[in-house]
């Protein structure tokens, strides 16, 4: 049994027509039922309001409205039919400060271009299987910006005497699990 | 009577919401098969879109940005204008980096990526940064005009090494110009 993507609608917003067509073709080959398209953020938001898609994939740099502004409209506008819709931002930027500013606009996932099919698929699985909680504070509404880290990955100092014991037990479990494979 | 937050509006009172996972309820379980993923990857790798017309638009924008920066060099530019000038050169190059590899021009992506990393930490534009920017522009233009697809082989690697070295030499010479806040 596999995902029934034929039941969903995805909106792709990208001002670069060849890239728009390519992304649409990839989604179609995944089996996505309906792919709506738009060439900039303004048209994208209008289409978002009229089609209420299940997922939005949007490019960052567009004129007159970019992907970040469009995402802010989705999250905060009264016209938005679904403020919780997952938004994947496609961009050539990969620097930390850019990722942080995208995250602060309410982006759900970040996809660095050029990408391969598995990178796009990985974001899709993340959205379907591990959806994020939403947070509303005075100056932000969007997906929870914190990522949970595994305890085993922690390399900092321990706070309690018992932490070292717990940590080594978890690490041992992990190693034993790998060995059995 | 005890006062909540001294009668002030709470500033960091976060409300956590778990939205209904409508996407999951529609698509079900199981992910996508390897067959589907491989087919999609084949489609991506064998796409016949011509990247050159698009690349030429971005190159023209980059060239205009370089020209504006060149003109502004003689004038005493303020910080805001400096950032605007950097953006005029940087943004089209980000587009070249983003799209080159999607349409078989991996060397364009690789070279543009080095330039983006360079520009992200440059403090201010000066004659030397513009000289380096011009070298990147010329290299990318040559690749597009020569229709050099893929990574360009040994010549591509030599070009990459040379451009990388130019950036390294710049920062070795001007250690004071590294903008720590931007790293």
**Do residues A139 and A155 both lie within one domain?**
no
Say if the Cβ atoms of A61 and B91 lie within 8 Å: yes
| Distance of residue A177 Cα from the nearest chain B Cα, in angstroms | 24
| CATH number for the domain that contains residue A59 | 3.40.50.2300
Q: Residue A65 belongs to what domain range?
A: 5-143
For residue A158 the two structure tokens come to: 């321990």
pLDDT of chain B, 183 residues: tens digit per residue? 455 667 766 666 788 999 999 999 999 999 999 999 999 999 999 999 999 999 999 999 999 999 999 888 766 666 667 888 999 999 999 999 999 999 999 999 999 999 999 998 888 888 999 999 999 999 999 999 999 999 999 999 999 999 999 999 998 887 765 554 444
Cβ–Cβ contact B32 with A under 8 A = yes
Cβ–Cβ contact A64 with B under 8 A = no
Q: Which of A131, A5, A109 is nearest to B29 (CA)?
A: A5
Would you mind telling me the total number of residues written for chain B in this entry?
183
Which of B48, B50, B102 is the mutation pick for testing A, counting most A CBs within 10 A?
Answer: B102
**Do residues A26 and A83 both lie within one domain?**
yes
- Write down the domain spans for chain B: 52-182
**DSSP assignment, residue A157?**
-
Say if the Cβ atoms of A55 and B23 lie within 8 Å: yes
Residue A96 has pLDDT above 70, yes or no: yes
Nearest-angstrom CA–CA distance, B121 and B137: 18
Say if the Cβ atoms of B21 and A131 lie within 8 Å: yes
**Do residues A21 and A75 both lie within one domain?**
yes
End-to-end CA separation in angstroms for chain B: 50
User: Which pLDDT belongs to residue A18?
Assistant: 94
Residue A151 has pLDDT above 80, yes or no: no
Q: Which of A164, A168, A130 is nearest to A147 (CA)?
A: A130
Cβ–Cβ contact A141 with B under 8 A = no
Q: What's the mean per-residue pLDDT of chain A?
A: 86
Say if the Cβ atoms of B41 and A117 lie within 8 Å: yes
CATH class of B52-182: mainly alpha
CB A10 within 8 A of CB A27: yes
**Do residues A102 and A127 both lie within one domain?**
yes
Q: At a CB cut-off of 8 Å and minimum separation 6, what does A149 contact? A: none
Cβ–Cβ contact B109 with A under 8 A = yes
- Residue numbers in B near A84 (CB within 8 A): 17, 19
Cβ–Cβ contact B87 with A under 8 A = no
**Do residues A80 and A127 both lie within one domain?**
yes
**Do residues A134 and A160 both lie within one domain?**
no
Q: Which of A14, A179, A167 is nearest to A90 (CA)?
A: A14
The A109-112 sheet, strands edge to edge: A34-38, A9-13, A55-59, A87-91, A109-112
List, for residues B109-161, the tens digit of each pLDDT value: 999 999 999 998 888 888 999 999 999 999 999 999 999 999 999 999 999 99
CB A90 within 8 A of CB A59: yes
Counting Cα atoms < 13 Å in the Cβ hemisphere of A33 gives 13
Number of domains, chain A: 2
Confidence of residue A153 (pLDDT cuts 50, 70, 90): low
User: Which pLDDT belongs to residue A177?
Assistant: 33
Identify the residue with better confidence: B178 or A46. A46
Report DSSP letters for chain B, one per residue.
-PPGGGGPPPSS--EEE----HHHHHH-SS---HHHHHHHHHHHHT-----HHHHHHHHHHHHHHHHHHHHHHSS---HHHHHHHHHHHHHHHHHHHHHHGGGT-HHHHHHHHHHHHHHHHB-S--HHHHHHHHHHHHHHHHHHHTT--TT-HHHHHHHHHHHHHHHHHHHHHTGGGB-GGG-
**Do residues A46 and A109 both lie within one domain?**
yes
Write down the ipTM of this complex. Answer: 0.85
CB-nearest to B30 from A1, A7, A25 is: A1
**Do residues A97 and A128 both lie within one domain?**
yes
- Residue numbers in B near A22 (CB within 8 A): 44, 47, 49, 102-103
List, for residues A100-133, the tens digit of each pLDDT value: 888 899 999 999 999 999 999 999 999 999 999 9
**Do residues A27 and A106 both lie within one domain?**
yes
Residue A164 has pLDDT above 90, yes or no: no
**Do residues A82 and A101 both lie within one domain?**
yes
CB-nearest to A19 from B22, B99, B182 is: B99
Which B positions 129-168 lie with beta carbon below 8 A of chain A? none
CB-nearest to B17 from A91, A125, A136 is: A136
CB B93 within 8 A of CB B114: no
**Do residues A103 and A171 both lie within one domain?**
no
């Amino acid at each position: 049994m596999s995902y029934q993507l034929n039941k969903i609608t995805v909106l792709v917003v990208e001002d670069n027509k060849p890239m728009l067509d390519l992304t649409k073709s990839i989604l179609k080959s995944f089996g996505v039922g309906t792919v709506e398209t738009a060439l900039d953020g303004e048209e994208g938001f209008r289409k978002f309001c009229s089609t209420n898609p299940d997922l939005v994939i949007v490019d960052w740099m567009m004129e007159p409205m970019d992907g970040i502004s469009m995402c802010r409209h989705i999250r905060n506008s009264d016209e938005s039919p679904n403020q919780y819709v997952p938004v994947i931002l496609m961009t050539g930027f990969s620097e930390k400060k850019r990722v942080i500013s995208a995250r602060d606009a309410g982006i759900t996932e970040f996809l660095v271009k050029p990408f391969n099919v598995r990178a796009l698929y990985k974001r899709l699985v993340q959205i379907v299987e591990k959806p994020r909680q939403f947070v509303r504070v005075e100056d932000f509404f969007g997906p929870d910006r914190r990522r949970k880290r595994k305890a085993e990955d922690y390399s900092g100092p321990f706070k309690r005497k018992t932490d070292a014991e717990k940590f080594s037990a978890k690490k041992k479990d992990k190693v034993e699990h790998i060995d059995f494979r | 009577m005890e006062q909540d937050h001294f009668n002030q509006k709470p500033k960091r009172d976060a409300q956590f919401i778990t939205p209904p996972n409508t996407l999951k309820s529609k698509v079900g379980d199981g992910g996508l098969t390897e067959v589907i993923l491989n087919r999609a990857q084949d489609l991506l790798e064998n796409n016949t879109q011509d990247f050159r017309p698009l690349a030429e638009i971005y190159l023209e924008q980059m060239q205009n940005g370089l020209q504006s920066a060149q003109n502004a060099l003689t004038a005493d530019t303020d910080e805001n204008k400096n950032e605007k000038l950097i953006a005029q050169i940087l943004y089209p190059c980000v587009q070249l980096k983003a799209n080159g590899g999607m349409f078989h021009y991996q060397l364009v992506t690789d070279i543009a990526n080095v330039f983006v990393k360079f520009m992200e930490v440059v403090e201010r534009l000066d004659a030397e940064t513009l000289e380096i920017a011009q070298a990147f522009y010329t290299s990318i233009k040559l690749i597009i005009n020569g229709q050099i697809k893929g990574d360009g082989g040994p010549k591509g690697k030599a070009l990459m090494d040379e451009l990388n070295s130019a950036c390294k030499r710049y920062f070795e010479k001007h250690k004071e110009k590294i903008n720590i806040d931007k790293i």
